[in-house]
Structure 1
């Protein structure tokens, strides 16, 4: 069972990462619809604003409280996030509240911070609110995917991408529920399960990047394709190790090496998109989004080594 301090800090860190991920999923959905499905565009925009409010609340409670490892991981924001938001807002017309990002740039850690009863109650309320919002976003994504697969709707998102972001929301929901119950989701079994989950996510990122680059970007397409194959292989190796209780360390070492490599590739890609040096149909915020997910996964892998 999580201690009081662990409950508070881990809850804040999970929401700092995932609430931003969810609100960005809603941006990517919002800009993907045709005029026919304006109602879905509105639903995505309204839910995005709710996640903005949630993230704002989390940020206000996090200063001087979260761990140094979370702060330094660049899973909350990266050096590119603010510019990626500004350029994406310019391209799409979506009003992205960059004040949240600017506040996050000033966050500090607090390993030895003493937290009172009030903090615990605030975190419980935030967790419950997050659970409600995540359920709503899962319903929305599932409805969109069903409509797309039944040829009732067209979006410029791959069906796999919609399924991908739905699975991420389901993972966020499960994690938040465990936190609310004071269950430690950083035990060895859960960490191994996360390795399987995030290897698949990294593989799919690679395939999305490959498919969204301009056909003339042949070198970048090949690199993305190779990453996709590498992470597919790592996903299968991790599943085999889990199923047969095999030695996991070798797979984890390979996952760390591959994730560092794709992290660097994503960072270069994000910078290139912001500076208009890469031809693609990728908005810069999507690139920064996938970079933060790689950074988060690297922290998960470090937890497995500690």
Structure 2
């Protein structure tokens, strides 16, 4: 089965990996959904008792599901886990719909309170993401690593930028150094998000085998022709320089490295902020649980980035970089090979 856009091969998830990953995702995200319900409840105006009660019911529901997820054994059969995933998906959809309703009421000025519209949209997007994660697991198919890099970064980099702005807005204005640091993180992740979207656009529509030779993108027939010519030349020469091949475009590895570095920095910033709040050493209206909440999400992003980085290694016949001079293009004069500076 091929993924859209990149044309790369997907592969099926084993039963063992399905159970392990399902439990990991549920144990992380059910706690996040539970805390979202709490944050919403605390942000409503006291007059909106119906919304507060609904949020509290969601808190209890996700607390129950979280306890079940923690009790499930890694030795449970895939059928039982798949049914649990489906139950969770239904609950998260209900919460997602509630968040959408709350957001609509806020932006149409039908309710007041302290739930920022962007914050509600932010937690709605996270519910959508959780639904997508469980749905993909239940379908038993992993998308190609290149597509995963684009999708995960577009989602998570926006989440990290949002976190920076939430922290900045909830800090007391007198905390100038922390406010400035939060602003800098927001700008940094905005730039990385723009780059992720650019890379996603650049790599869409490529054939299953993408080769970059001396700066040229070559399709499969051209690659075969060049390989045949290379083989003939090799037979004619007594010695042959080895063809250096990397398994993925270096830009993806470099981008992933940049994102990991930035995410480690904001993770440390969030952890520091959480400690300062716990020790009453900074002025803000940030709920200490919220500070810990966003730090855990940064840890989750780093975990995903680490997994993607590992998957980049064994990818073959997907994106090759051949580090030798480009052959001349017959239709152009002079040759169109990449000219070094």
Q: 2:283 maps to what in 1?
A: 279
Match of 2:117 in 1: 159
Give runs of aligned pairs for residues 4-19 of structure 1, distance below 5 A. 4-19=15-30
The equivalent of 1:36 in structure 2 is 47
- Tell me the distance in 2 between the aligned counterparts of 1:158 and 1:33: 10
Taking the aligned partners of 2:140 and 2:63, their CA distance within structure 1 comes to 25
User: Does 2:306 align with 1:302?
Assistant: yes
1:182 Cα shift?
1.1
How far apart are 1:120 and its partner, in Å?
Answer: 2.0
User: Per-residue deviation at 1:250?
Assistant: 2.0
Q: Is the 2:150–2:199 contact (alpha carbons within 8 Å) kept by the matching residues of 1?
A: no
Preserved CA contact (<8 Å) 1:210 1:221: yes
Unpaired stretches in structure 2, ≥5 consecutive residues: 1-11, 204-248, 311-341
Deviation at 1:252, TM superposition (A): 1.3
Is the Cα contact below 8 Å between 1:175 and 1:185 reproduced in 2? no
CA-to-aligned-CA distance 1:63-118 (integer Å, 9 cap, x gap): xx4xxxxxxxxxxxxxxxxxxxxxxxxxxxxxxxxxxxxxxxxxxxxxxxxx3xx5
Structure 1 pair 186–290 and aligned structure 2 pair: CA distance change class (3 A): farther
Structure 2 equivalent of residue 230 of structure 1: 188
Aligned to 2:88: 130
Aligned pair count? 253
Q: Does 1:195 align with 2:153?
A: yes
CA contact (8 A) 1:238 1:248 kept: no
Give the distance between the partners of 1:185 and 1:7, measured in 2 at CA: 14
Q: Shift of residue 204 of structure 1?
A: 0.7
Normalising by the residue count of structure 2, what TM-score does the alignment of the two structures yield?
A: 0.72
Structure 1, residues 121-153: CA drift from partner, whole Å, max 9, x if none? 321221011111111011100000000000001
Equivalent in the alignment of 2:63: 52
Residue of structure 2 aligned with 1:263, choices 255, 263, 267: 267
Higher relative contact order (CA 8 A, sep 6+): 1
Aligned 8 A contact 1:185 1:191 in 2? no
**CA distance in structure 1 between the partners assigned to 2:62 and 2:158 by the alignment:** 25
> What is the CA-CA distance between 1:185 and the residue it aligns to?
5.0
Three-state SS of the structure 1 residue aligned to 2:91 is helix
Q: Distance in 1 between matches of 2:66 and 2:150?
A: 28
Q: Could you say what secondary structure the match of 2:306 adopts? A: helix
Contact 1:33 1:156 in 2 (8 A): yes
Please report the RMSD computed on the Cα atoms of aligned residues, expressed in angstroms: 1.3
- Decide whether aligned partners of structure 1 residues 296 and 186 sit closer, same or farther in structure 2, where only a CA change above 3 A counts: farther
Q: Deviations over 1:246-301 (max 9, x none)?
A: 73222211111100000000001111111111111110000000000000000111
Cα distance between partner residues in 2 of 1:248 and 1:31: 41
CA deviation map 1:208-242 (0-9, x unaligned): 10000011111000000000000000000111011
Q: Please identify which structure carries the higher strand content.
A: 2
Cα distance change, pair 185–13 in 1 and its aligned pair in 2 (3 A): farther
User: Is 1:191–1:300's contact at 8 Å kept on the other side of the alignment?
Assistant: no
Question: CA separation in 1, counterparts of 2:147 and 2:163?
Answer: 25
- TM-score, normalisation: structure 1: 0.80
Matches within 5 A, 1:87-126: 115=75, 118-126=76-84
Given the alignment, which residue of 38, 45, 60 partners 1:27? 38
The structure with the largest helix share of the pair is 1
SS of the aligned residue for 1:36 comes to coil
